[in-house]
Each structure stands twice: as C-alpha cells, then as structure tokens.
Chains A and B, each alone.
Chain A
Amino acid sequence: MVLSRLPGLLRRLKTLRQEYVDACLNDVPGLISAQAYAQTVLQHLANALGDGSVSRERWCLAAVGGFGRGELSFASDLDLLFVHHQKLPATIEEIVRELTYGLWDAGFEVGHSTASFSHILRLVREDFSVLTNCLEAQFVAGDRALYDQWRESFLEGFGANGRRRFMRVLQGYCEGRLRRYGESSYILEPHVKEGGGGLRDMHTIRWIAMVFRGNPSPDALRECGWLTAEEKLWLDQAYDFLWRVRLQLHRMTQRRQDQLLFGEQEQMAGRLGFMESEHGSAVEAFMRHYYRQSARIRRITAFVLERARESQRRTPSPGPKRRILPGPFLLEGRHLQFLEPDLVGKDPRLLMTCFREAARHGAHFHHQAGSVIRENLGLWKPSMGEDPRVVRQFFEILLHPQQAFDVLKVMLETGFLQTFLPEFAPLRYRVQYDVYHLYTVDEHLLRTVRELHRMEREKDEDPRLPGLCDIFVPLENRRILYLAALLHDVGKGNGKGHAARGALMVRTTGARLGLLPEETDLLSFLVEHHLLLAETALKRDLMDEKPVTACAFKIGDREKLRMLYLLTIADSRATGPGAWNTWKASLLRELYAKVDHVLCRGNGKGEDLRRRSEESQARVLRLAQEDPRIEKIRAWLDRVSYRYLASQEPESMLIHYGMEQRVDRETVVLETRQAEGGLWQITLAVQDRPGLFALITGVLWLRGLNILSADIYTRPYGVALDVLMVEGLPDPLHAQELWERIRADLVEALHDRTGLDARLAAKKRPSILHQRTLPKKEDRVVIDEDASDFHTVIEVYTWDRPGVLHAVTQTLYENRVSIRLAKISTPGAQVADVFYVTDLGGSKLGSSQSGDRIREALLECLARV
C-alpha cells in the first residue's frame, strides 16, 4: 500500500458523513452545512495525501464539480481530478487506484478522472460539461505549482473570444435544461437541482462570475454592478433554502434524489416547520415558499445572463437602433429603459406608462427598467390606481393581442401588478395541492388571459371548437371579459366558495377602476359563475331540460352566455393538461348550444319532451321508409322511453333496433365507433339483469379502458341498451381484437362471474410499479333529489385508483339502485362520478333514509378499495 494513512482517512470520512446524516434528521442550515462538510472532507484528504510520504512531484489532485465549489450533500459525488505531467508516474497510478477504490468501498460515489496537463486543457475545450465541472476547483494535494499553472492556462482560455464561445454554448445548455425540466410533471414535482430556479441556476451565475470576473462568488458580480445588493441578498437566501430542502430530501429518501415528489412534499413541510393556517395546509405553505424562492433565482439568473451577453457587444459598432419614446423612455433595439429614472419619483404613474410602452412596442425590459420599477413601488399611492389615464393604459395592456401576457408577467414579477391591484397580493405563488392545478393561482390567471387572446386571434386553431373567434366579434364588453379572466380566481385561498367571495371582491375593484355600474355587475356575474358551465356540462345530463334551463335562467342573455363560454374554455385550457380534453370540449359545446337555444326562444322554457320524441320517431320512420321491417320498427319506437328518443340520433336508433333483434342469438351484441380524438363509442345490447353495469365496468377496466360516460336504457321487454363513451385504448393499432376480447369476456362473465371476480381481485393486488403517492382529498358523496325531475343524482368524489368505478357501481347494485346514466371525469387523479339513478321500480329514491344508507355504503366501499 502506497498510502499508509488511507485506512485512517476512510474511517474519519465515514464518521464525518455519518455525523452529517444524523444532523440532517432535523432541519439544518443549508448552505453552511454543505460548505462545512465539503471543507472538512477536503482537509482530511489533503492531510492524508500531503504528509510527505508520497512524492509531490509532477502531479496534483484537484477537487472539481460540487466538491470544487465547496458544497456537498452527504449523498453527493466527490469529483476528483488528477492532473500530471506528460507520463503518469507509476506511484501516482497506485495512489489513484488505492484512493478511488478505498472511497468506493467506503460507500462514497467518486467521479474521478486522470489526465495529463495538455489532455485536460483539450478536454475542456471540447466538452462543455468537463469545462463547467472544472470552472470551480480547489487544490487538494501534490504539486501546488503544477496546479496553479493548470488554473492559469485554463482561465487564459477566456479571452474575448473564449467568453463569447462560452456564452453561446451556455445559452444552448440552459435552454436544453429548461426544456427537459420544464415539462408539466416538473412543475408540480420540481427538480431541486436541475429545474428552473434550481441550484443549477445559481451554479450558472457562479460560472459566469468565474469566466468574466475570475472569481466565482456572486459578490464579484455585485462589485461590477451586475447584481444589486438586494438581488444578491435574495439569491443567498433562496440558495440557502434550496440547500435546506435538498439535504432533507436526501435524508428522507436515503439517496441522491433531487426531484421533490408529492410523497416527500408533505413530509418536507413538516420537517422544515411549516404550519397549517387559515390560508391553507402546511404543504401548500411550503410549496408556495418554494416557488417564490425558485422564481427569484430564475429571474435573477435571467438578468445575469442578459448582462453577460450585453457586455459582449463590440463597442465600436454602431449598436442597435435607439429611439426615444414619450415618457421619456429609451428603446434600444428591443430593450426598454427609463431615460430619466428620477422622474418616476416625481410621478410614479410613469410606471404604468412604461408597461404600456413595452406592450405597444413589443419591447423587453432592460434590467435597469426592472430595478427602477422595484425601487419606486413604495411611492405608488392607491389614488394613482384610480386615475382614469392609468386605468386606460392598464386596459390597453390587458387587451393587447400579442403582448398582454408577457407584459403582465413582468408586472407580476416586479410586484407592480399587486401594487396596482392589491387583490393580487394573496395569490402570489399560491399553490393548490393536487395534480389538477398545474400552475400557481397568479400564474394561472395570467395564462387564462393569454388563452383568451389566443382564442380571439387564431382562427379555428382548435378543431374541437370551430368558430371560437367568431363568438368574440359581437362582444360589446370585451374589456370586462378580459378583466374577469384576470380576476376570476381572486377569491381563492380561504376555503370553499371562492367564486362567490371573488364576485364580492371584484365589486371594489370595479369601483376603483371607475367602471360603469353595469360593467361592474357584469364583472361580478362572470366571476361568480365562472364554474357554472363546466360543472353543468361535466356533471349533469344534458338531455334533461332542467339543468339547461337552470343555466339559461341564471345567465339571462346571450351575450353573457358567450362571455361565460369563452371564459370557461380559457380557464380550463390554462389549468393544465388534465383539465382540457376533447371530451370536455364536446360537452361544453353541446351545453352552450342548448342554453343558447333556450335563450334564443326567450321564454326560458325548454322544449316539450313529448313533442321532441314524436319528432324523432317521425325522423326514424322516414329513414326506414324502404325497410321491410318498418312496421316492426314503428311498434318498437312506441315501446322505448322518451328519454331514449330525445337523446339518440335517428341513424343510431335504427342500428340499435337491429342490435336488439340479435340479442337472443348472440347474448352480447357489441358495436363500436371511433369518435373524435382518441374517444370511442361502444354500444352494447344485452338481456338485462341486476348488476349488469357493474359487470361491464369491471370488464372494461380489466381491459384497460377508461369510461367517460354511460347512457343506460332498459327496455320494457327486458333488454338493456348501454351507450358508453370510453378512452385510453392501450393498443389503438389492434382495436378490433380488443372489442372481440371484451365481447368474449362479457359473454363468459354473464354465464359465470367467478372468473371475472378472480381476475378483478388479481388486478387489484398492489403492483411494485404503482407506488406513487399523490395528494388525496377526503371522499365525498352528495345525493341530490332536486337536480332532475325523474332521477336522483348521486355524485361521488374520491381519488383515482384501480377499480374504483367498478367498486362504486357494484355497491350501488348491491343497494338496489338502478343506474340510468353515468358521467365520469378524472381530472388529475381526482375522480368525480355522477350517476342518475332510480330505485328498481324506476322512481326517484325519495326518502332521505335510503339516501343516507346509500351514502354510508358508498363511503364504506371507498374506504375499502
């Protein structure tokens, strides 16, 4: 053994690491702990290797990467770089081997490389990750002069050209990183290291400081004016917080896991001492703080990157075009700044003018503008927000087709938006702890405005909703619609009923902005009812006149309906991928058309069900004119229900008739039709029997299908016709095979259920592959006797898990409840199942006792699934 002191070193390092791990059982100061550990490890290494027993000639050992930066978690890699002259001396080879093997065997992860002086310089030129890894280094052992020489040659590479090259590659690196870690999954479960506003952003700042100032500390950037004292302070605080989170995360997961998953977020909130309050749960408070900190890092990183790029402009060239805008502002290229910042002190209303100019000219904000805005926020007086000129400028920004979102975003980030609209302050970074709401509330509101602009601008962009932009054309109160989009969730954060609370709050806003009384009424109406259309479309039978006329009654006129429709779509699209799909679009479109129809007729009444069914009977018979079975079809049409006649298309009815004729021979008659998007319609004709629907949900679930809705028609002659809308075919390439298997499964299950039950039980067994924890809400069952004239409506809310729909339908069957219609939505791991039911005799459930009994049975079954 060449390294006589190796065993002692390893023992000391292991003890040191164990102490670090133990300390992190509780929340510890983040950055200081990381630095102290790294420093001590380095010291031990230096002592063991530098005691004179090994020759120091012609080689040196440098700490690089996180180790070189001097910040380590107990789970971090130790990045070591051995540099040698020309040929590697044999004794050094021994040292490298003994040290790295020893560290490995002691359970450290070592990222080591051995390279000659010239080789490492070449590697750095060729590979950006080697370059960034080497940017921050510390001497550990060996020949100090060699180390200094290496650093000098390395840093010499950053002359004017080297910097320019560095910035170009860095730009691509940052973009690639944000593309990869900016996906929706990383928004809800952020990556502490690589995500936007993560530790890596801070590293980027340090790299820039190193390349441009020869010193990695952000202090160097403050000295040259690239960072203000305030920004530096924010950066330090945020960075320290991220380190606290990271250390706890590594401690909880017992490994180097840097993504903050749902399962850990709740524990983390507790470990870092966040508490539940009237504003929300502990985990929401924690995540809100997390987003606030990472947004700061992200923003400051963007500033620093911009300043670094700016510094590289070759001065002699004429430079970008400069224009003076009224204010006065300087528009240089695309960057806007204050020409005389002192004027803002005299009249802070210039701030709004600045944003307006940015919108008009599609300008970016120069970092000087950002600082001036932030520094002067304190001078803003509430009365300024009521100044008609300021309000006019605000609406000009809000209604700007291309620039609204970008400018509002800067208004939000600089804190100006909440100064102008104090309602916004409690919404900053407010988290809704579920997988449905992808964005924090403030971000979601801005995105809603952006979606509205998109819908208005882009002709028929969404094939699911043709003609959206035409709906905008006749709108008189366009600016109120946009204001409602910006404010619709303003009541969030104090428990249930945010829409009603928001409707009250925006009345004050309206008065402050000097809106006309009728405009304020409209604004308040839109905020109060912004969920009405979505809730009705997803949870009510649209064939039933009652919910449609109830909507029409609440809305009152067609212009309001149009506005509400547009707001609903924009709101859904801005919520996240779980909130908007083909299915929801088609339901909303249907509801919109129906309500519009009622409003058009003006008497507030729906069509007579009987008249409608007679009309559709006539249409079916016209279609079947040539059919030899026409007399039989006529008799059949007299036996089916009004609801059936009113809700199905005449062409489909003829197909259904044919299917029902085959039931005796084939047991299960199954037809499928591909609908829009990835949706399929399945129609089943079967001899009716109790529990049939539960059986169907079981089979479809086993085959991986997701049921969105079901219309169940029971004929007086004992045949059941089920029309189902499903999605999520596991293998769309082999759809036909799937339908055949499903039919075979059903035939078998009708004959003997035991096989099906065994397979259901097997599929429910927990798999090693599904162990993700997601936020859960309490199960809820609502039983409504008034929503429909003919049915009791049961709403079941729970979290999504294998077989939950089957369990619910099975429980309903066991409680002698007959399902007539089901609407199932699964917005982001939460389930909302709505059933229109009757008792076995076909009447409403009626009594509250049976309602209570069913509610209890359902809750109990949900607890078991």
Chain B
Amino acid sequence: MKKIEAIIKPFKLDDVKETLSGLGIKGMTVTEVRGFGRQKGHTEIYRGAEYVVDFLPKIKVEVVVPDNQVPEVVESIRKAANTGKIGDGKIFVIPVEECVRIRTGESGEQAL
C-alpha cells in the first residue's frame, strides 16, 4: 500500500477528483493547506526580523492505494492538475505499513 499525497492548485480539485473516481478510487481525504515551493512567497521585514508573508493557498489530496495502482493514479493526478505554470504542485508517494477500518477492524488492502 502507498499513500499518494498531492498538493494541487485549489481550482484543479474537481478535475483531480473526477479522474480519481474514474479509476475506481473509493475514498480520499482533502485538506486546505498553505505553503510555498519554488514560486516562493515574498519576504518582508517586521521589527528587524525577516519573515515570509505569502503562503499560497493549496489543496492537499490524500489517497491510499495498492502498490500496483500507484503508477496510473500518479499519472492521472499529474495530467489532471497540470496547467504548465509555476505552482502546479507536487505529488509524494509514501509507503503505508498498515490500514485498519475502524468499524469492522478489517486490516490490510481489503480495508482500503
């Protein structure tokens, strides 16, 4: 199992959600986040200390899938979230040790 964490532009959420449903992904978690990457925020000085004012709003989508589905999920998110401009976001793939469905106690891939 792998967790796929995608940071995307907020207005791309619908496209990403639609393409993931098309792949038969049954569930996902979405969070509003703020951050910056290469596009940076801009830096300001306040009382002598330098700090970054502009964390840009992004959406984080998290899905956990069996290993063999990782390539198509990553590729689909990339296609759906791509505008070709700076700030399109990033996709991380993280190993998942275990997964438990709370109601039933099932574990492993069948609990996905």
Contact = CB atoms under 8 A, between A and B. Distances in A.
Interface string A749-778: 000000000000000000011111000000
Interface stretch (B6-14, B55-63, B66-74): B66-74
Contacts of A771: 68, 71
A422 interface: no
Given A105-B104, A733-B86, A768-B93, A255 B24 contact: yes
Contacts of A733: 85-86
A109 B67 CA distance: 20
A772 B106 CA distance: 31
A769 B71 contact: yes
A304 B2 CA distance: 46
A256 interface: yes
Most buried by A among B68, B74, B106: B68
Contacts of B68: 771
Contacts of B2: 768
A768 B71 contact: yes
Contacts of B106: 105
Nearest to A769: B71
B74 A256 contact: no
Contacts of A256: 24
A7 to B, nearest CB: 15
A768 B104 CA distance: 31
B71 A772 contact: yes
B110 interface: yes
Given A107-B110, A256-B24, A769 B86 contact: no
A312 B68 CA distance: 49
Nearest to B67: A768
B74 A769 contact: yes
A256 B24 CA distance: 8
Interface in A59-107: 105, 107
Given A105-B104, A107-B110, A733-B86, A769 B93 contact: yes
A256 B23 CA distance: 9
Interface string A251-278: 0000111000000000000000000000
B24 A769 contact: no
Nearest to A254: B68
A93 B106 CA distance: 25
Nearest to A104: B104
Contacts of A255: 24
A107 B93 CA distance: 26
Contacts of B86: 733
Contacts of B110: 107
A733 B68 CA distance: 33
Contact of A769 (B26, B70, B85, B104): B70
Nearest to A258: B24
A770 B24 contact: no
A814 to B, nearest CB: 34
Contacts of A105: 104, 106
Most buried by A among B26, B71, B93, B110: B71
B104 A770 contact: no
Given A255-B24, A768-B70, 14 more contacts: A105-B106, A109-B26, A256-B24, A257-B24, A733-B86, A768-B71, A768-B93, A769-B70, A769-B71, A769-B74, A769-B75, A770-B71, A771-B68, A771-B71
Q: Which 4 A-B pairs have the closest CB atoms?
A: A769-B71, A768-B70, A771-B71, A769-B74
Interface of A: 105, 107, 109, 255-257, 733, 768-772
23 contacts: A105-B104, A105-B106, A107-B110, A109-B26, A255-B24, A256-B24, A257-B24, A733-B85, A733-B86, A768-B2, A768-B67, A768-B70, A768-B71, A768-B93, A769-B70, A769-B71, A769-B74, A769-B75, A769-B93, A770-B71, A771-B68, A771-B71, A772-B71
